[in-house]
Structure 1
């Protein structure tokens, strides 16, 4: 069987190494995973209470438009429910956007070091990705605007960016939008926006009210801790949502995920706790890195990209042997960097202790 020609050379997405796999391979009983930007605090306990009510409905298909979740989310965000669409994770929404708007002969502009699924979906649909280098780990919006042509259909911006964790500001985004021609859609992937504490971060939902070219992507996988349920969404103009619904699979957001997301929205205290704990954990990691003289990007997400000064795969393997799973920057385009998810205080301490050994760095005894 011969596959589509556009698949030639297209890499298979490699997620963070699973806990179970590392335990089996290395014979370790205790392993921590700080590789996939998952929430170390799990999810709200309200999720499990709510799912008991769904037990009798497992034989029934879900409502494809997720009306109850849509109403609850629209109230939480302060947007029209008709402007919301759900996916089997934000990954599927990315796929739907590419399927609806990309085709042979058109281009999409994106950063050269960003979430790889944008490029994958562009290529699958026959489009041409136009990559623009990051500038000190941040989207170079001036260069991206210059890369736009009559063939450009979409500009993808991950904010905070994965893997650098950096952000563009409200002022920068507004100036960028003013430069773009009317035919260009701008997809703002805000998977990590709940973790941001920088007041300069864009209010994209307000901008969307004046600019129908914007599409805002968000997810329940990160701060809400529902990665296993696969539920993400986008907010966009009704005309864009109509086109996306044409390519959406009929029952893409499953019934249990919809119920879990509704319960998650009701527990904003949990979200606030996770946000504050992440800020403290990020500072815990970055303070030690600074003491060692190791550079890292100023992350606004729940991960830190650090330059170890050594081949990333070697440091990754050293940490793995000590039961700490991180993400090697080799596959991310950063051959001497590691991307580490911010864990809880104990997990962060264990990561730093293991990294100190792998890099032969001094580490003061930490308490907690």
Structure 2
């Protein structure tokens, strides 16, 4: 090891960095407020072993056999990079969405594509509007890009599109709509979405996050790609993490105008979507009938739990996703503790509410038991 003369005297660069026995740390560069950001999930307590994990909106169904086979085959060549751009999968997604392949961009989960969109279209001083509460990654991604998060309070469980429209100004570069909204589960009507999109300035990007769209009732479902055909400033996000049950594979995509896809291609890191993820997503597209059956069963279980909660007088939202939202307010922690005592992990938002993923039949029965027990305590 080489030493400078100063090192031999016990001084030098390393010695100069110590004050009271503590070395100074590297300072995050770029954004002065980076340490003010809440890391994703930092409000959650440490995970403990629980029988039912209903805190992350994972699909409770095991992977379909053809998907497992595709993953296993792709795992045989981990020494090779995946395609820089998975054109074959993009072509299949384009066909499903009724668009040209140049309208599709694939990333390591829809949240990765969201991060690329924010980084590509919003920078220091630019404003990004979103409903709140909504997906907790939004303000983190916006703040990390140096942009200004502009949360607009919900009306009850719903995003307030009128208030969001009023908040759009000369500094607004992006608006994010989560449909259905996470964590409240409520869906925006097609009329509301069309009206909102039509009223946005052409230089403001509208990101429509449709991670849970497969679970929306048919009578109120909206396909965001409809807006792509009439608006050049709309990007629709989709994922394989929820209905397809591939959360661990990390694959999602955007459907948008070619000019927006071009920006995504320029800011994306290379080789982030692995071979196994590409293979899994492609194989899952072949299992449409089976996946739709699983979605229908999840929706049936969800609606049964909502009906139960309503019958018990509990504050449950009209969720159109694969989870329930119970706005317990200051009682959220107490209800979460009761779930933990029953070996059920749920997502607690302190002083706001509790989100519970719809799980297996056994898990949902356990949730029903806690709901009945909790309502009984409230009646005493």
Question: Fold conserved (TM > 0.5)?
Answer: yes
CA deviations 1:53-77 (Å, max 9, x no partner) are 3243221000021112111222222
Equivalent residue for 2:37? 10
Aligned pairs (5 A) from 1:326-341: 326-330=346-350, 335-341=351-357
Residue 21 and residue 112 in structure 1: after superposition, are their counterparts in 2 closer, same or farther (change >3 A)? Answer: closer
Q: So what's the TM-score if we normalise by structure 2? A: 0.88
Counterpart CA distance in 2 for 1:118 and 1:336 is 18
Q: Alignment partner of 2:319: what SS?
A: coil
Deviation at 1:102, TM superposition (A): 1.1
Cα contact 1:71–1:81 (8 A) shared by 2: yes
Residue 15 and residue 309 in structure 1: after superposition, are their counterparts in 2 closer, same or farther (change >3 A)? Answer: closer
CA deviations 1:216-253 (Å, max 9, x no partner) are 00100001000011111111111101011111011011
Q: Which of 157, 160, 172 in structure 2 is aligned with 1:140?
A: 160
Equivalent residue for 2:238? 218
Q: Which piece of structure 1 moves more, 212-221 or 343-352?
A: 343-352
Question: Aligned-residue CA RMSD in angstroms?
Answer: 2.0
Deviation at 1:6, TM superposition (A): 2.1
Deviation at 1:15, TM superposition (A): 7.6
Equivalent residue for 2:367? 351
Unaligned runs of at least 5 residues, structure 1: 24-29, 363-368
Unaligned runs of at least 5 residues, structure 2: 1-25
Q: Which of 141, 148, 156 in structure 2 is aligned with 1:128?
A: 148
Residue 135 and residue 56 in structure 1: after superposition, are their counterparts in 2 closer, same or farther (change >3 A)? Answer: same
Based on CA coordinates, which of the two structures has the bigger radius of gyration?
2
Cα contact 1:87–1:231 (8 A) shared by 2: yes
Equivalent residue for 1:26? none
CA deviations 1:316-357 (Å, max 9, x no partner) are 122112210111121xxxx25211111122211111213433
Q: Which of 277, 285, 289 in structure 2 is aligned with 1:257?
A: 277
Equivalent residue for 1:94? 114
Q: Which piece of structure 1 moves more, 51-60 or 244-253?
A: 51-60
1:286 aligns with 2:306: yes
Q: Which piece of structure 1 moves more, 44-53 or 350-359?
A: 350-359
Residue 317 and residue 261 in structure 1: after superposition, are their counterparts in 2 closer, same or farther (change >3 A)? Answer: same
Cα contact 2:312–2:375 (8 A) shared by 1: no
Q: So what's the TM-score if we normalise by structure 1? A: 0.91
Q: Which piece of structure 1 moves more, 165-174 or 182-191?
A: 165-174
Residue 76 and residue 198 in structure 1: after superposition, are their counterparts in 2 closer, same or farther (change >3 A)? Answer: closer
Equivalent residue for 2:57? 37
Aligned pairs (5 A) from 1:15-30: 21-23=47-49
Counterpart CA distance in 1 for 2:307 and 2:246 is 29
